[in-house]
A and B are shown apart, each in its own frame.
Chain A
Amino acid sequence: MVQTAGDDSRTDDPFEIAAQGVPGANPLYGGPTPDSADKVDAPGTILPDGRPEAGISGRSVRLGDRVFKALAAGSGAILLIVMAAIAIFLVWKAIPAFTDNAGNLFTTQTWNPQGTPAVFGMAAVFFGTVMSAFIAMIVGVPVAIGIALFISHYASRRAATTLGAIVDLLAAVPSLVFGMWGLYFLIPETKGFQAWMSEYFGWIPLFDNTTATTVDQFGKSLLIAGIVLAIMIIPIVSAVCREVFLQVPQETVDASWALGATKWEMIRTAVLPFGRAGIISAAMLGLGRALGETIAVALVLNSGFRINWHITEPGGDTFASTIALKFGEAGGSPVAIAALIAAGLFLFVITLVVNTAARIVIARKKDFT
């Protein structure tokens, strides 16, 4: 029975009655004429009595939603503000280091901000930082990659989780302890090793020690600082590499097995190329850590403030260790404080660049997976 719109008072069929409210339920029935109660308002509409209408829109009009979103977004904003504040304050307070310095901040080697005139520069500090970090990378990254490969491909599944936890335990040890261990255990034990290096590899000027006459005079050198740093960056680098190696597509691995590859050939052709971006990014993260390490280096190295390419000779400085060690005596002198803040600024910029580059490398890799 065809019924016109609105003429619904005479039907007995329950389905017809129910269908009147649903557009299109009864094909013979044209559906209700929309009236003001049915109209879907625009989002954010305010009803006549002042309440906002809760529409089915993406906008959060409820008070609770707005407050919560503001809280969450505000926390993110705090982060950005702190980062900006770090940069601004460091630059601002480091200005006297540029203006009140009789030497050139970039090329002078000595560190005497409390002399008259104040002469100090970052050259020796920069050299020590780069050299110790470089040694740490050379020693630490291959070992970390080996550990990651061991855990992901050589160890049994059950052993892998335990071994991973043990390596992560190395990351939990505070750097203070690394420094003390380096100072009191590693240095005495490696005096012989350093003497041996100087004797048999001394034809490479890098390893030659020109000042020591007895074995005892070997000790607190950049080489040992680099080795301690290497032990400290191993957990970070191996953790990131492990994550990457575990994500190698099984098809690629199976394909190399199917072609009769040995285990090493499988790793060389399937795992390492896949993980190349991850390895680079992990290495740069380790580099960032090595550059910023303060206490371990401060305990292991003696200050020398000169660029010394013989890394088995004692002495060396890094940005971080200079700040930590020279802070006490810088107390009253604004120029000395500014010099330390300038060192901090240099360190901040360097680690910023390294970490950003690492993230860009891994982000670009993600675009292709």
Chain B
Amino acid sequence: MTSATVTANPSLRSELVGARLPAWAPYGSAVASVGLAVLLRWMLEWTGWATTFVAAALLFVVVLTGWSFAVEGRRQAKNRFASTLIYASFLAAIVPLVLILTYIGIKGFSVFSADFFLRSMNGVTSRMEGGGLYHALIGTLQQVAIAAIVALPIGIFTAIYLVEYGRGAFAKTVTFFVDVMTGVPSIVAGLFVYTFLLLGFGMRPFGAAGALALAILMVPVSVRASEEMLKLVPRDLRDASYALGVPKWRTIVKVVLPTAMSGLITSSLLAVARVAGETAPLILLTGYTASINMNPFAGDQATLPMMVWDQLGKRSGTTSNDLTEARAWGAALTLVLLVLILNIGARLLARLAKPKTH
């Protein structure tokens, strides 16, 4: 039986598929819309490129959707419209991030020098050049360390309770309030420590008060993240340990915690990073000083955020000038680098040292 001659005609589309735009349609529309926007700019004599950019974007959406509507039909046109919007929304996240990081990078880097990191602002007025953030860096590191020492054990033990022991009303209440505490604004935590410590006992601002507020903000983050890490430890490990007659507390200390250790370190680093950049509680609690204060329990202590706040003139209600603004940017960039190092370190650790579950 002879086979039916089917002419291999590549231009014959399957009849099951409706008309489709060519694959180069989005690129074609982009070129067309940019061209149209530039034309409009020339014709309407716009200044600057922002309006042209916006016009090109809007024209792209119109051209692609319209073309698709004409060729492919309503459903496909809606699909293309939605896809364009979704791709655009992603750009809307990337663009601010890039803008912010490059802007602060450029502005802050210009003031970086060895002096900037090793000197304090002692004796440097707002009209003088020079000065540094050593005093602020020490303050931030000390206060974050104290906050971590206070908050991380509480967070991890609460997570242990919720995962290993928690059944019943108490555990449900704790879980609910951990969630609620994640939403407490930082200024409210600062206000609480202010009313409790500073007003209640009549104390002057000091560094560790700020650390206490940071600890309050750190605990819920630590609880949630540690809980997730502890839940990753498989039940079999615990059951094997119980089967061998090991008491519960030893199982947790010797089996569960070592297995989840890298995850717990990751969650702790994330909690510290979340809190290291907080400014609001520090305004109320730590004061500011231009000189180095190595004792977080006595007297005003400078921190990176408060140095920015002071250099921008917000602390004393004055205005800022180029010199103070440059220093403020330098301190802000240092803060961003500190937080980014903690964040990226935590993620690298999470990637490299997954919990050993076998």
Contact = CB atoms under 8 A, between A and B. Distances in A.
* A, B bound: yes
Interface of A: 60, 62, 64-65, 67-69, 71-80, 82-83, 85-86, 89-90, 92-93, 142-147, 149-151, 154, 163, 165-170, 172-178, 180-181, 184-185, 189, 192-193, 231, 234, 238, 262-265, 267, 285, 288-289, 291-295, 298-299, 320, 323-325, 327-329, 337, 340-341, 344, 347-348, 351-352, 354-356, 359
Contacts of A291: 185
Given A83-B181, A86-B188, A323-B187, A176 B279 contact: yes
A294 B82 CA distance: 35
B78 interface: yes
Nearest to B199: A93
Contact of B174 (A60, A76, A185): A76
| Chain B facing A: main interface SS | helix
27 contacts: A79-B223, A86-B189, A90-B191, A93-B195, A93-B199, A150-B89, A154-B86, A166-B93, A174-B276, A174-B278, A174-B335, A175-B279, A176-B335, A178-B100, A185-B103, A192-B48, A262-B75, A294-B186, A320-B187, A323-B284, A324-B187, A328-B315, A344-B187, A355-B180, A355-B182, A355-B183, A359-B179
Can you list the 3 inter-chain pairs with the closest CB atoms, starting with the nearest?
A: A292-B185, A174-B277, A146-B89
Q: Which one of A64, A79, A262, A289 has the greatest number of beta carbons of chain B within 10 Å?
A: A79
B93 A170 contact: yes
A333 B104 CA distance: 38
Interface of B: 48, 50, 75-76, 78-79, 81-83, 85-90, 92-94, 96-97, 99-101, 103-104, 107, 153-155, 157-158, 160-162, 164-166, 170-171, 173-174, 176-189, 191-192, 195-196, 199-200, 216, 219-220, 223, 247-250, 252-253, 273-274, 276-280, 283-284, 305, 308-309, 312, 314-317, 325, 328-329, 332, 335-336, 339-340, 343, 347
Contacts, number: 263
Contacts of A168: 343
Contacts of B279: 174-176, 294-295
B280 A295 contact: yes
Contact of B93 (A147, A299, A325): A147
Contacts of A65: 247-249
A112 to B, nearest CB: 16
B180 A352 contact: yes
Given A165-B347, A170-B97, A347-B188, A341 B195 contact: yes
